[in-house]
Structure 1
Amino acid sequence: MITAEGPSELSLLGAGLYVLVALACIMTALAARGAGEARSGPRGWLVIGACFLLFALMRFLQTEDILGDLLRGLFERFDAREDRQTFQWPLSLLALAIVAVSAVRFTRRIRAAGIWSRSATVDWARMATLCMVALIGLRLISLHRVDAILFSPAIGPLRINWMLDIGFSATVLIAALAYAGKLRSSRRM
């Protein structure tokens, strides 16, 4: 729900994490460009960084809450509140199918390149970013059974949603740092 006070402290922390990840990606893109890496490396990191800046902006502006309220309002307006699962199930399954197919594709590319090669780190980050997009999509779709899983406490007060969100962000951050580290070590050789 949207609050008159603005985003919650947790949302601001999440936005801060996204900005940190975005900065790491942008710095990695600049380092890759300076090292003369193929265009796909710097461009990939810039796109991922831009995604995380967008995620931060969405958190700060409470975009998910606004869109969720808008969708609920549309269902109520068209008296389709009881029938919303007719739309939610296929959309949820589509989001999960896209992630599954992409995960298989990225896993094959990562194995072929070597699990922590420079090109594989970009694929790790792309896969985690795609998972983040799917997670945001699932939260927007707001299917009751999926919400029950995402928002249930997993470890103490930590919710599965938070763990996934932090995990995907951390994966991108670690991949960006690994890529930058590999660039530095290759320059020393």
Structure 2
Amino acid sequence: MTKTLMIVFMGQTLLACSAVGQYHVDKQAEQKADLHFIGIPLLAGAVGSSFPITENYSLTAGHVARIMMLEVKAYNPLCDVALIYQDNHGKSIPQLAPATTGEHVKMYGYNAYTTEPTSSSGAIAAFGWWDKPKQSCYVALSSAGGIQGMSGGPVYTDDGKVVGIFTATHPQRNQTIFVPYQEIARWVSLETRS
């Protein structure tokens, strides 16, 4: 891929995750999400988030894994999700669970502009296909806020379970988009065992 193409791709990918809704600095995010940074601090770079699911693997958004050049175990074939190698020894591993409509959620990650730990809260509004039914990723829409850099971060419920991975925003609807865990559960299980 040429440098020009790579710059265009990175720009388009980052635009997919514009800011929507309310979000704020939250030190709890440091316990829930990991920061990934590439570039020159304070001058130019990109920020993304991930979270542990085993002692050796974390989940993140596929575009974060590509931009950050992370060591990837596998990319999901339909969804913007990647399983990455990560040393998570000593970290708290969250329980993963399916997401349901109306459920209150809290999203965690890092703000791309400040690199501060960030969170937002809201409710799951609806589920739908990213593109063509049964041929694309089944995603969830949420009223929680989001900003660039939070991509790849976990979506928690009030009972402390992770129900998805933050991947994008929908500025026209002022909503965040995440991949619900039930959409990738089988893939995660297969990839972490192989």
TM norm structure 2 = 0.26
Higher helix share goes to which structure?
Answer: 1
Which one has a larger percent strand, Structure 1 or Structure 2? 2
TM-score of the aligned structures, taking structure 1 as reference length: 0.26
